[in-house]
Amino acid sequence: MTIKISIDCMGGDFGPSVTVAAAVSFATREPDVEFLLVGQEAILQSELKKLGAQNHPRLSIVHASEMVEMDDPIEVALRRKKDSSMRVALTQVKDGLAQACVSAGNTGALMAVSRYVLKTMPGVDRPAICSILPNQNKQPTYMLDLGANVDCEPLHLHQFAIMGSALVAALENKPRPTVGLLNVGEEDIKGNDVVKRTAQLLRADHERGLLNFYGNVEGNDIFKGTTDIVVCDGFVGNVTLKAVEGLGRFVKTTMTDAFKSNPLNMLGALIGRGALKQISKTMNPSNYNGGSLLGLRGVVIKSHGGADKYSYEWAIQRAFDAVKNDVLARITTSLAELMPVPAEASTTSSGSTEQ
Amino acid sequence: MTIKISIDCMGGDFGPSVTVAAAVSFATREPDVEFLLVGQEAILQSELKKLGAQNHPRLSIVHASEMVEMDDPIEVALRRKKDSSMRVALTQVKDGLAQACVSAGNTGALMAVSRYVLKTMPGVDRPAICSILPNQNKQPTYMLDLGANVDCEPLHLHQFAIMGSALVAALENKPRPTVGLLNVGEEDIKGNDVVKRTAQLLRADHERGLLNFYGNVEGNDIFKGTTDIVVCDGFVGNVTLKAVEGLGRFVKTTMTDAFKSNPLNMLGALIGRGALKQISKTMNPSNYNGGSLLGLRGVVIKSHGGADKYSYEWAIQRAFDAVKNDVLARITTSLAELMPVPAEASTTSSGSTEQ
């Protein structure tokens, strides 16, 4: 089965030089993929030519005259740039021409335009961004929300838990993945009001056998792999994700400096290069690029804005895997089972709060 | 000048086996320190005997019959255990018998008992916990609050910025340290309502020349060293701190496993051991142990509950340095200049919200 993916080629800090190159590279090694490259035709054509891929049978260009800039307010992306590469790429999914869309554009804009074009799943009040982080059990920890919703009510965190569970069940083939609620301590009395009230909702679901709620988890549990899923609001999630990425880069610099500091250390690095490669593979944040926008009626993967070609290919991989594992249908089914549309949800679905 | 420090010897996961051992070790290498070891006399005496330090001239025992357990609610620590090692250790500071107190006890209890025994500085509504993290400029990044206040209003974050500035000015000899406000993006339009309103307060101070406000910073800026100080609420700070500690441990395990995975890698590690030592020194979270409880009328340092002897010595070092650099007087002076007691602050000082 060929999987069709639309790429918002103009999005991200580096635009087509990264997005087109990543798509070409991915298509070269994966025969079951077809790409719709969305953006300014002339630019994309010249990029394909540079890569000798202008006649690739599984790459086609879909022209879009505008682009969403990284600092465009949501309103501009949503109401003024109706022919943006982001919007046109999402429309391919809506129209059934692609099964997933990948974009490295402005998160707030991508979420807003995705909601507008694709709509949310029944019962979902606010879509969330879910990514994976590595853990000591050599398994992925799925964490959400990572920045779509900077102010959350318990009902939203509850929905994130359900969507995360459904995603992990589909992608990892775990029928009852564990859910942890990110907090400042494990005990029930810890935390702020929103977190305490969320725990009550999750415990109730656990007692009814609907969710496998572990309880509160702390920041370090993300990397311990205490639970399959870690739920938090988008402010905490975004800050935490960027902090650990920052530490990752700091570790890398520190290691490079140390092993280059004198000839003996350089020799050690040369002899132990297998170990260094292994460490770099586990720790490289590029290998974890690609956040799923969960709760939409379509597969949308958000790449890091600053992704390079290698990193962007990982985001494409997530889109490919999501379609291959039929994630969308499985989440929809789980949601229908777990989340009868609540009255509150349908009245407060006015919008994502991120700007 | 001899610096007198009281130690809550019963606090922390390991109690006297860590706290007394750390004090003995610190006293052995630092002639200008004197310790008041607070806790159950018989236990402390036996611990000192074990270490051959029962007659050390700069170590004395102050008996306290009770102890605050790690899971004691604040009310118990505050109202029932009036002869706890934590409270007696803090009372030494209040009574002028010690100039600083170190405790690895339950954070919420330590903050509450410290407030009760020592009181807050004039104009300070909520004390905060401030610790350092390493950054790529080979400088410390001071971050607060790290868990004392899980719900914060702009006025609290504003006070944290002022207290953090005063601390860094005193400890790092930087008259105008830069302050960053932790957020999900750099732009002014980003973030939740509390953060946006805090930015307004900080900008106003910056314009009046009272604070050196840089603007919003993101999680990765902590390790980039973009600003000297990073301000956030205690929920975000605690989660972020524990997440980066967790990642730190994960990196360590990954490195150890990789360098032990085959003889060649082991040889590389042996030859490059200088580099590995250098990396471990920079990355070891123990070297950053010891959070200052800022805003109290006394120097109180909170050690990690799980600290080992080496790590606890670092917390003692922070207490020692704070007294040596006259941090308390300098913060009080800065606060008086920067923060005229606002009407709102004095009416909402009912208590820390952490449980």
Q: Which domains does chain B have, with CATH numbers?
A: 1-124+295-350 (3.40.50.10950), 128-287 (3.40.718.10)
Residue with the two structure tokens 């690095």:
A269
Model confidence at B343, pLDDT cuts 50, 70, 90, reads: very low
The amino acid present at B118, given as its one-letter code, is: L
- What is d(CA A82, CA A79) in angstroms, rounded to the nearest whole number? 7
Model confidence at B44, pLDDT cuts 50, 70, 90, reads: very high
Nearest CA to CA, how far is A229 from chain B (Å)?
15
Pick the range with the lowest mean pLDDT from B38-47, B69-78, B86-95: B69-78
- What is d(CA B344, CA B355) in angstroms, rounded to the nearest whole number? 23
Residue B50 burial (CB count, 10 A)? 14
B274 close to A (CB below 8 A)? yes
Nearest CA to CA, how far is A4 from chain B (Å)?
32
Nearest CA to CA, how far is A82 from chain B (Å)?
23
Strand stretches in A21-157, DSSP E: 33-39, 59-63, 100-103, 128-134, 140-144
The tokens describing B166, both together, are: 């005063």
The tokens describing B332, both together, are: 């009080």
Element (H, E) at B291: strand B291-294
Do B246 and A224 lie within an 8 Å CB cutoff?
yes
The tokens describing A313, both together, are: 């290919």
- What is d(CA A346, CA A219) in angstroms, rounded to the nearest whole number? 32
> In chain B, whose CA is at the least distance from the CA of A281?
B254
Mapped onto helix, strand or coil, the DSSP state of residue B222 is helix
B183 close to A (CB below 8 A)? yes
Higher pLDDT, B190 or A200: A200
CB nearest A236 (choices: B190, B239, B270): B239
Q: Could you tell me the sign of the dihedral formed by the alpha carbons of A328, A333, A339, A343, in that order?
A: positive
Q: What is the pLDDT of residue A219?
A: 95
Q: What is the pLDDT of residue A340?
A: 57
Mean pLDDT of A129-139: 92
Q: What is the pLDDT of residue A352?
A: 41
If you count DSSP H runs as helices and E runs as strands, how many of each does chain B have, helices first?
A: 14, 11
Chain A residues within 8 A of B151 when measuring between CB atoms: 192-193
Residue with the two structure tokens 């101070």:
B205
Backbone angles phi, psi at A25, to 5 degrees: -65, -40
> In chain B, whose CA is at the least distance from the CA of A217?
B239
CB pairs under 8 A between A and B: 213
Model confidence at A354: pLDDT above 60: no
CB nearest B243 (choices: A134, A219, A262): A219
Residue of A269, A245, A272, A252 lying closest to B279 (CA atoms): A252
Do A220 and B261 lie within an 8 Å CB cutoff?
no
Are the C-beta atoms of A12 and A107 separated by less than 8 Å? no
Model confidence at A178: pLDDT above 50: yes
CB nearest A223 (choices: B182, B189, B249): B249
In whole angstroms, how far apart are CA A53 and each of A23, A59, B132, B313? 10, 8, 51, 61
Mapped onto helix, strand or coil, the DSSP state of residue A285 is helix
CB nearest A264 (choices: B183, B242, B271): B271
Model confidence at B355: pLDDT above 70: no
Model confidence at A327: pLDDT above 70: yes
